Structure 1
Amino acid sequence: MIPGLEPWAQEALGAGVGLAIGALVGLERGFKLRDQKAGTRVAGVRTFSLMGLAAGIAGVIAHRQPLAAAAVLLAMLGYLAIAYAPRLTAKGDATSPIAAAATTAAAFLAGLGSIGLALATAAVIVFILALKDDLHEFVDRLDKKDIHALARYGIIALAVLPFLPDQPMGPYGAWNPSKLWWVVVLVTGFSFAGYVANRIFGARHGTIATALIGGAYSSTAVTQSLSQRLGSGEGGGAEPAGIALASAVMYLRVIVLVAILANRILIPFVLLLAPALIIAWVAGWWLYRKAEHSDAPIPPGNPIALKPALGFLAFVAIAAVVARWAQGTFGEQGIAVLLFLMGSMDVDASIVTAGGLPPQSIGAALAAIAIGGTIIANMAVKIGVVLSYAKGKGTSAALALLASTLVLAGSIAVAWMRL
């Protein structure tokens, strides 16, 4: 509630917000059902508005008269059940009665005093209802692999994390199970978001859109797929630009991960990567300007698999122990070498390990240099992939990747001399 209001004004505000919530949802329902004959609609703007007002009043009196408030809510929900029963039997569409029940709950929250939560709930209700056609179209485009990916990410993000202890344990106290698994949730979530975006936009907007989105979760996979298509002669002309732009996105991706997981090294890391980032985008844009239009998307692949996720967790856990051991044995130089060696196999793991180390174990500038070196190793692999799969047809893409790699190597050399 708004502080400073008189009690009667607080109550009037709660009931008024309930009315507004009912009217908002009622407008959407009335618009969707506008083509039905007059008198055949169970609930429209007026009914939803009155329902919201009644639920808001029930929330206002709930503290003083809980039985009366319960009676009002049960009477409305009972009416909805009776009124919508024939339609549910005939059409099997439960959207409107469920929307009415959700509206009643949101308005009741407003009457209780949770104005912000009630309004946010109403906005979500209207948003979901308004997206009917888009959601149905999206579901129609799903296949079995998409559902499997969603189920696997649900297990990773929701079925494990809440039950893990949040405390240091294991050798050198290097393992915090909750934080370790949270890293897996974050990294696989990044991949899953890119996968979903690829499924939504990639098929509509072709190679370039798919490459840009795919670069957010695996620029190497995008590079390999596009290079194969170039080498086989099936390319549509936009593949070199897609390869370059996927790596340009990769530079942004690692910056975001550093900002989230190892923010103490963010400034030196951004300064280190900025020249290469600019060159990568300029090269990608130049190839894009030269490319022919291509509508053929590349298959995004399924980035959410439990075995790789568990493998990543084991790799990060081992790296955390080794990093703590290296800290006491070799100092920050040894940790820098360790970060580089780890990042050569998985850049994300190197970033995670750097973020989990105590600030005094390695300087921010040296850690940034070590992770930057892993990106050079990753770029070298992608250049090799392009030359191996695309052969002479991938020369422009390989040169674009090489340009940003050389610039990054120069930035690392300058930063090293300044240590």
Structure 2
Amino acid sequence: MLTFDPVILSLAVALGIGLLIGTERERRKGERPAPSSAGIRTFTLASLTGALSTIIGGELLFAITIGGAFALTAFAYWRGFRDDPGLTTEVALIVTVLLGGLAMTRPGLAAGVAVAVTIVLIARTPLHRFVRSVLSEDEIKDALMFGAATLIVLPLLPNEQMGPFDALNPHAILVIVILVMAIGALGHIAVRLLGAHFGLPIAGLASGFISSIATTGAMGARAAKMPELVWPAAAGAALSSVATILELALLIAVTNLATLQALFVPLACAGATAAAYGIALAIRAIQENQAEPDERGRAFSLWTALIFAAMLSGILLASRALNTWFGVTGVIAAAAIAGFANADPAAISVAALVGSGQISTADAALTILIAFSTNTIAKLILSIVSGGTAFALRIIPGLILMVLAAWAGWWLR
């Protein structure tokens, strides 16, 4: 069997890295005001230099090589910065030396990073256009706010239960805030890519698998901010209920199949009704002849996210108190109250009680159906608070029909 020395294979990867990045830089040389001397040959030799220094002298010689690369690129930039102040080629050359050295120990990682670097270099024009012409100042601020909440604040918050009845988890509450912001941003991106009349219904359906209540709040906030989007925003909110029903059925099936069998007809009736109503709203939105609005505004509503998190905290506190005071009976009552925030955890906890023999399948199914109804009531209230009258009038009939269909399925099963 033919075998190759791992060092030879790593050198081949380093050679390929230099050729790959160097090819892109060679094509750019002719476009610069003063063509750079660094092209395909320079980048290939730089990558091999990084690799060979690692083989010959290890980390020490590799560090010296990197220092030399910094000195040479700094001198080259100083000599020609008046004709071309850009630093892209110089930085890319240093990165190539680093990748050449990395290829000797982690060839797969080095090759992947090299491809990513080349993509960034090739995408210069669309990236510049996107940042300068497509992104708005408000969108950049929202991105920074989202990044700060996710990467700075979230890791600092304690991830443990605290407060009355140990009902509140600061880490989990901020996750909810981030979730609502992300859903709003998803809708914003969908509108920018597909237009409001197509993008919002699709974004609503996708976001429903994360949180239908949060999606309703985010769509309502968008409709309140831009009244001309009330139909597509309403369609997105209505279709989010379809995703919720599908997810609810899947979670119940995984927890306790007998409970799903008892709820199959009610959930099927509710899902069919929600889908029909949401599709009707989507068709109405698509048929609108209004021009697409300028979406270069805020990507999400922070106030909507904070209000939703506050409402969730209150519901969790109430449900935990009932659970502590009344035991299993309190669990059932708490599940109904918890439905105001999210029907999925309530359904899982009650279906698990069936598996342990603490309650009957019929009682569990009825409790889950009540939680589903309270969840719908929460969406009804949130549609009024976040979206105003125009948005609520388009959402409420579908929510009422969906709940009536679920209860009709319960009595007819």
TM-score calculated relative to the size of structure 1: 0.72
Query: What residue number does 1:406 align with?
Result: 401
- Report if aligned partners of 2:25, 2:89 keep a CA contact under 8 Å in 1: yes
Give yes or no for contact 1:265–1:365 (8 Å, CA) kept in 2.
no
Shift of 1:359: 7.0
Does the 8 A contact of 1:372 with 1:412 survive in 2? no
Deviation at 1:71, TM superposition (A): 2.7
What is the alpha-carbon distance in structure 2 between the residues aligned to residue 31 and residue 22 of structure 1?
14
Deviations, residues 260-302 of structure 1 (Å, cap 9, x unaligned) = 9999679969955632453145314543564436333467645
Asked if the contact 2:234–2:281 (Cα under 8 Å) also holds between the matched residues in 1, the reply is yes
Write out per-residue CA displacement over residues 193-229 of structure 1, whole angstroms, 9 at most, x where no aligned residue. 433454x43xxx5441453477455222344456x44
Q: Which residue of 2 aligns with 1:275?
A: 272
- Indicate the residue corresponding to 1:219 in structure 2: 219
Cα distance change, pair 371–67 in 1 and its aligned pair in 2 (3 A): same
Please, which runs of 5 or more residues in structure 2 have no aligned partner? 208-214, 355-363
Q: In structure 2, do the counterparts of structure 1 residues 98 and 251 end up closer, same or farther at CA, with 3 Å as the change threshold?
A: farther
Contact 2:14/2:99 (<8 A) preserved: yes
RMSD of Structure 2 on Structure 1 (CA): 4.4
Partner of 1:46: 41
Give TM-score, length-normalised by structure 2. 0.73
Alpha-carbon distance in 1 for matches of 2:10, 2:369: 53
Letter in 2 for 1:337: A
Structure-2 residue corresponding to 1:233: none
Q: Is the 8 A contact 2:255 2:352 kept in 1?
A: no
The residue identity in structure 1 corresponding to 2:293 is A
Q: Equivalent residue for 2:291?
A: 294
Q: Give the secondary structure class of the aligned counterpart of 1:160.
A: helix
Q: Distance in 2 between matches of 1:80 and 1:127?
A: 22
Per the alignment, residue 96 of structure 1 pairs with 89
> Match of 2:15?
19
Corresponding residue for 2:174? 181
Cα displacement (A) at 1:366? 4.0
User: Against the structure 1 CA distance between its residues 56 and 313, is the aligned structure 2 distance closer, same or farther, given a 3 Å change threshold?
Assistant: farther
Identity rate of aligned residues, in percent? 23
1:311 deviates by 4.8
1:115 correspondence with 2:116: no
CA 144–354 in structure 1, closer or farther in 2 if over 3 Å, else same: farther
- Which residue pairs with 1:132 in the alignment? 124
Deviation at 1:88, TM superposition (A): 3.6
Q: 1:383 to 1:100 in 2, by over 3 A?
A: same
Compared CA separation, residues 253 and 224, structure 1 to 2 (3 A):
farther
Structure 2 distance, partners of 1:308, 1:289, is: 26
Does 2:320 match 1:324? yes
Indicate the SS of the match to 2:71: helix
Q: CA deviation at 1:379?
A: 5.0
Amino acid at match of 2:36: R
- Cα distance between partner residues in 2 of 1:169 and 1:385: 29
Alpha-carbon offset, residue 34 of structure 1: 3.8
Q: Please report how far the alpha carbon of residue 82 of structure 1 lies from its aligned counterpart in structure 2 after TM superposition.
A: 1.8
Letter matched to residue 124 of structure 2: K
Q: Name the counterpart of 2:359.
A: none
Preserved contact between residue 52 and residue 101 of structure 2 (Cα < 8 Å): yes
Moved more, 183-192 or 290-299: 290-299
Give the 3 Å change call, closer, same or farther, for CA 91–34 of structure 1 in structure 2. Answer: closer
Q: 1:334, CA displacement in angstroms? A: 1.0
* Offset, 1:382: 5.0
Q: How does 1:170-319 map to 2 (within 5 A)?
A: 170-198=163-191, 200-201=192-193, 206-209=195-198, 211-212=200-201, 215=204, 216=207, 217=215, 218-224=218-224, 228-229=227-228, 242-251=232-241, 254=244, 271=267, 274-287=271-284, 290-292=287-289, 294-297=291-294, 301-305=298-302, 309-319=305-315
Q: Which runs of 5+ in 1 are unaligned?
A: 230-238, 344-348
Q: Is residue 214–residue 246 contact of structure 1 (8 Å, CA) maintained in 2?
A: yes
Distance 2:246 2:19 in 1: 41
1:165 corresponds to which letter in structure 2? P
Alpha-carbon distance in structure 2 between the residues aligned to 1:311 and 1:244: 20
What residue is the counterpart of 2:333 in the other structure? 334
